[in-house]
Amino acid sequence: MRITFLMPSDNLTGGNRVVAIYAQQLMARGHEVLVVSCAQDRLGLREKARAVLKQDWSRLRQHDTAQPGHIAQSGIAHKVLERPRAITAADVPDADIIIATWWETAVWMHGMPASKGRKVHLIQGYEVWFGPQVIAQVHAALQLPNTKIAISSDLKRTIEAQLGPLGITVVPNAVDLQQFTAPARSRQPSPTVGFVYAVAAIKGADICGQACELARRELPDLKVVAFGADQPAAEVPLPADTDYFYRPAQTALKDVYGRCDVWLFGSRLDSFGLPILEAMACRTPVIAVPIGAAPELLGDGTGVLVAKESPQAMAAAIVAFFKLPAADWQQRSEKAFEKAHAYSWSDATERLLEALQA
């Protein structure tokens, strides 16, 4: 089949990683795949002025220089528009399938002729993050006539609780089992935890950071590891002496996960939470809030679920985890590894193809 993906921009978010992996998997099966995206956003004059006043130099640097995203790094055929704007029918080739990956791209896709392909909406989030002013638009986009595929059962429930049944098929995300893996190991003498750092409040890095500081009251030798696509900012401080990896190479991520005894996931809003699965695939048990796929991945005791937006609850779970006998940690580590390795991107792609072919 000829398959076109529509994306608002290329970046290093989990959603873009998912598109890149699906595109690679589909190409490996002989399908012709093209990703069409807008140019990356730049800060406007007002936003630049605010950043200068706040001395937010990291934000200025990140937006002044376009950073290659997951699509650019994947080797997939990629057409980038000259600026951020709506993708039109003239920008995409005729195809068998066209897949929107964000609510705005679903709206753009809806206006395209049938020659551009059967219309599919890959729903990667309940995308109302920018506030009440976009809710009506997001809801309208979700109700457009097309084939709808969501990346988790929790996401489907969230959307249909608002809009009623929409005929959404669930195809859960997986993890690259060659990129994310680790040999069996023992718990380290010095307890070590890790998390993904981001300035955006919805990612919950502040919750994870505060939990680490609180846990250190009982575990003074607690080490902290983090990685992220943002430079650390004063408004979301990292715990003291954090070993931070800024934009690490994708091939290095398994080593970051593998350095940790426990991984933390504190997101306020997430449709899946790929770092949960990536950490598990590297034999690192996870302490997470019940957001995205966390209840499905950890609810059977594979990891630990804690209350939302509670650094205190997460800190208590960290302390409790390191008070477990070493054998219990080993059992959790093996269980996490086995669960993550039981479902691959190859499996997910087969399920995606079933939905597309249907």
Going along the chain from its start, the domains and CATH numbers come out as 2-174+344-357 (3.40.50.11090), 192-340 (3.40.50.2000)
212-240: per-residue pLDDT in tens? 999 999 999 999 999 999 999 999 999 99
Please state, in angstroms and rounded to a whole number, the distance separating the CA atoms of residues 200 and 230.
9
Question: What is the pLDDT, as a whole number, of residue 41?
Answer: 64
243-292: per-residue pLDDT in tens? 999 999 989 999 999 999 999 999 998 889 999 999 999 999 999 999 98
Nearest to 241 by CA among 258, 228, 223: 223
Torsion angle, CA of 100/101/107/108, rounded to 10 degrees?
-60
Q: What is the pTM of this model?
A: 0.81
Please state, in angstroms and rounded to a whole number, the distance separating the CA atoms of residues 190 and 224.
10
Phi, psi of 214 (to 5 degrees): -65, -40
Q: How far apart are the first and last CA of the chain?
A: 13
pLDDT at 65 over 80: no
Nearest to 274 by CA among 9, 76, 11, 18: 18
Please state, in angstroms and rounded to a whole number, the distance separating the CA atoms of residues 324 and 327.
8
- The proportion of the chain whose per-residue pLDDT surpasses 70, expressed as a percent, equals 93
CA torsion sign for 304, 307, 308, 313 is negative
Q: Which amino acid is it at 56?
A: D
Given the DSSP bridges, would you call strands 286-288 and 97-100 parallel, antiparallel or unpaired? unpaired
